[in-house]
Amino acid sequence: MSKIRLFLNIVLITSLFIPNKGYALGDFFQEQLDMVNAVIKDQFQRVEEAVNTKYDEAVKVQTKVKDYIEEQQKKISDDVNNYVDKVKENGRYLIDTWSFMPTDDPASRLENPDLVLSVPSIITRNGYNCETHTVLSEGFLLNVHRIPRSKHGREIPKKTVLLQHGLFASSADWILNGPEKSLGYVLADAGYDVWMTNIRGNKYSKEHAWLKENTKEYWNFSWNEVALFDIPAVIDYIRKVKGEDAKIAYIGHSMGTTILFTMLSLRPEYNEKLSVGLALAPEVFISNMKSPIKSLASVTSHIAHTEMVYGAHEFLPKKSFLGQMNKMCEAQQMDSYVCDNVIFYICGADDEQFNRTLLPFFLSNLGTGTSWKTALHMSQLVMSEKFQQFDYGYADRNQRIYGSDTPPEYDLSKVTLNVTLFWAQNDLLSNEKDVMKLHEKLPSSTLYLVPFPKFNHIDYLWAKDAPRLVNDKVLEILDEAMKPKVRDLFFPFRF
């Protein structure tokens, strides 16, 4: 009521100052009403225009989101269809591979106690001393298995070799072919102090000082972190045990070679801490691989994203299909022949060098733990055709980490270590073109073609004729690299 009184008083006072005596009070009210209506109409039009503008913008955003979703769905669909087509295309090779049936009797295969023993227990059972050394790196407790001397030796030799396994593997790779054939034993008998690593996350290096295994933070690594932190920590540990002047030879297989070249490009000071490098089946440039798993590269990012969204950060753990292959491929079952040939299908068929009795042992140590980030990083090498750091998929995130929209390539010109690249014509994962590309980019490298046409990616580990085809050459290279320099012969003392 007070507001109405105030309005009437204003009207009354205003009317006292109206110069025209004939100006009717009704006209005044009408004029005021028209003015208010005009203001209200103007405000309504402005609000209506603003609402229409926002609505149009919302429709545009909705359209963009819809188009983006359709684009991503189409991309995923195309990637999956391409993968299916590739599998169909390679189907005849799978059939050809599975058609191979061996002549030996499965019933003759005896149960192998090595299937349930740890690497140190197997080494000890074969008459060698074995030590386990634990190295701390970024909280991971890395267990390194060491054969310090030959079976009959008493003194620990000064000559030292570091063996680095590949993807899905462990230190078991270097002993699975038994004494006289596996490099772990062969090198020990040849007078070398042998150290066999286990990368973070595998079954021998699962422990972490503060992170739990089922967390995202635990599995947030690829081989980049292994090369940047873990292997340098192991090398420094060995030098602390052996002496700062100890020179260490590095032998890597498959992803073990990826780790070597990554480490030497990111930490070039380690070129001087190693005496020589041997890369068995190098995995650096891998876009030309012939293995059917290449067709998985295009869908790995989608699968990895889905898996990680649901909290699965470990890639193919023991409970997975691959991790359970050893249980499905027991030595007493005919199915093991299929398992043999699935490996041939992926790595290259070589029934002549394949020791089938090793299959259960090999499979029991397969899938020992790695991260989805590692698998995704590998697929990026296939798709990019470059040897580059991990691509986070977003320009702004790459900018925060690398200072560029795309991940930088590893600088192979910094790898000054003398490296021998071992390659084989039937290796479906380490293709000749890719090996030659690596050879051209390295400042100091030599090539060694394994003299057996059917030799494949994993024959380095279990070939029947490994001593003749690989080990003899390895020993020749190491012996040459470990020879004292002329300077050291004439000036053995340091001043």
Q: How crowded is residue 287: how many other Cβ atoms within 10 Å of its Cβ?
A: 16
Tokens found for residue 485: 């320099």
Contacts of 475 (CB under 8 A, 6+ apart): 186, 187, 190
Task: Kindly list the distances between the CA atom of residue 471 and the CA atoms of 181, 190, 213, 409, 474, in Å, as whole numbers in the listed order.
Answer: 8, 11, 37, 33, 5
CA 396 to the chain's CA centroid: 22
Number of Cβ atoms within 10 Å of the Cβ of 397: 12
Catalytic residue among 254, 364, 371, 430: 254
Q: Point out which residues pair with 140 in neighbouring strands.
A: 137, 208
Using an 8 Å Cβ cutoff, are 427 and 455 in contact? yes
Spatial CB neighbours of 442, under 8 Å, sequence gap ≥ 6: 412, 415, 419
Residue 288 makes CB contacts below 8 A (sequence gap 6+) with: 431, 433, 434
- Reading the block at residue 387, the tokens are 């040897």
Tell me how far CA of residue 37 lies from CA of 6, 34, 41, 259, in angstroms. Answer: 21, 5, 6, 78
Distances from the Cα of 85 to the Cα of 88, 312, 378, angstroms:
5, 28, 21
Q: Of the candidates 371, 343, 373, which has an alpha carbon nearest to the alpha carbon of residue 358?
A: 343
Q: How far apart are CA 335 and CA 312, in angstroms?
A: 29
What the block records as the tokens of 24 is: 């009717």
- The number of residues making up the chain comes to 495
457 as an active site residue: the answer is: yes
Whether residue 165 contacts residue 197, with contact meaning beta carbons closer than 8 Å, is answered with yes
Rounded to whole angstroms, the Cα distance separating 427 from 454 reads 8
Max CA distance (Å), the chain: 132
Catalytic residue among 208, 253, 377, 457: 457
Whole-angstrom Cα distance, residue 328 to residue 154? 43
The token pair at 357 is 């009795």
Q: Is 254 a catalytic residue?
A: yes
Q: What is the SS3 assignment for 311? A: coil
Within the chain, how many helices (H) and strands (E) appear?
19, 10
Query: In 318-468, where do the E strands start and end?
Result: 370-371, 419-423, 445-449
The residue written with tokens 């140190």 in the block is 120
Q: Which residues are catalytic?
A: 254, 457
